[in-house]
Amino acid sequence: MAAVDSFSLLLREIGRSYNYCVEMLALAGALYATKVCVTVLNNTYALIRVHFVPRMFGRPDLSRRYGKWAVVTGGTSGIGLSYAKELASRGVDLILISRNRERLESIAEEMAETYGIRTAIVVMDFGRGREAYPVIEKALEGKEIGILVNTVGVLCPLPDSFTSLTEDQVWEFINVNIGAANMMVHLVLPGMVQRKKGAIVNVSSISCCNPCPRYTAYSASKAYLDHFSRSLHYEYASHGIFIQSLIPFFICTDGTKSGNTLSKMSFFVPSPDEYVRHAVTTLGVSRRTTGYWRHTLLMILARFVPEWIWAWVVPRIKYGQKSL
């Protein structure tokens, strides 16, 4: 009888412990569900605030807000060209920097005729390193640079191991993807600080958010730009300078027209013009953004993807040059 009583007591104790565990699990589940709900509400609010509210108030006068001139690096194709066109349509005078003289002259002439703005060009290959910048500095003298858009960059067209890169390719990533943005900011920022206004846009990439094997040098260079921009914000926001890290996902640029995953525009893969029309509206609103509301949806989803899945998927995507 004592054995039966002891067994019954044991069952009761087990039941109490089980109920306690169930209550703790229920509490943990409720806390997690609350966290998810708060995150979803916060992301929804940010999506509306950054991508939709600014578009309700028309197009601000960027020249008055930041300055008369905008410098766009890599301004003859892709996001750079689209950014130049969008700024020109808003009455901002342009200085375009790229290495193709014929293309630069054609675009500058077209912009001046179409939008009635002043234009200037600088023919320069950023892959030359330090020797490029005295020429650029001279071209910028006497101009009120209000906006700098750093879009110039290089990307190997196919995924490959880091050791397969040539020494020239490694230096190109350093000189173009990293050095160009640093030096251009170094050239224009003092004038902005003096005038207490200005905007700098550094175009990074979704590849900055997670490791991208077989695109190692490229993704690391974009991570640098992202951190560079965010750090500059804390240094110079109090001086009236707006600094933005722009993080696009996939865009159907000139380098993604054939033979790769992103060969056609789709719901999540816009043209450069469509992307930039959205991105410009986030200027002065969000210091770190995808620039495009559909890409922001992807960014929200990407936060839930484990790093090892990301690292497995990325090497299997062919992006084409300057597309990621």
Q: With pLDDT > 90 as the criterion, what percentage of the chain qualifies?
A: 58
**pLDDT for 113:** 95
> Looking at residue 290, what is its pLDDT?
94
253 has a pLDDT exceeding 80: no
Task: Provide φ and ψ at 264, rounded to 5°.
Answer: -135, 150
- pTM as predicted: 0.86
pLDDT of 130-186, one tens digit each? 999 999 999 999 999 999 999 999 887 678 889 999 999 999 999 999 999 999 999
**Can you tell me the distance from the alpha carbon of 176 to that of 182, in angstroms, rounded to the nearest whole number?**
10
Span 264-281, pLDDT tens digits: 778 889 999 999 999 999
Q: Is the pLDDT of residue 2 over 60?
A: no
Interatomic CA distance for residues 26 and 22, integer angstroms: 6
> In the CATH hierarchy, which fold is given to the domain comprising 52-316?
Rossmann fold (3.40.50)
Model confidence over 22-59: pLDDT tens digits?
677 778 888 888 887 888 888 888 889 888 888 888 88
Integer Cα distance of 200 and 241 in angstroms: 8
Please give the share of the chain, as a percent, with pLDDT higher than 70: 87
Does the pLDDT of residue 234 top 60, yes or no? yes
Q: List active site positions.
A: 218
Q: What is the pLDDT of residues 110-137, one digit of tens each?
A: 999 999 999 999 999 999 889 999 999 9
Judged on CB neighbours under 10 Å (0-12, 13-18, 19+), 34 is exposed
The residue extents of the domains of the chain are 52-316
Q: Which residues pair with 316 in a beta bridge?
A: none
Q: Measured between alpha carbons, how far is 103 from 9 in angstroms, rounded to an integer?
A: 88
Contact between residue 199 and residue 283 where contact means Cβ atoms under 8 Å apart? yes
pLDDT-derived band at 321 (thresholds 50, 70, 90) equals very low
> Mean pLDDT score of the chain, rounded to an integer?
87
Instruction: Decide: residue 48, CB within 10 A, 0-12 exposed, 13-18 middle, 19+ buried.
Output: exposed
Which candidate, 191, 183, 195, 174, places its Cα nearest to that of 73? Answer: 183
Q: 96 Cβ partners below 8 Å, 6+ apart?
A: 72, 75, 76, 84, 104, 107, 108, 119, 120, 121, 122
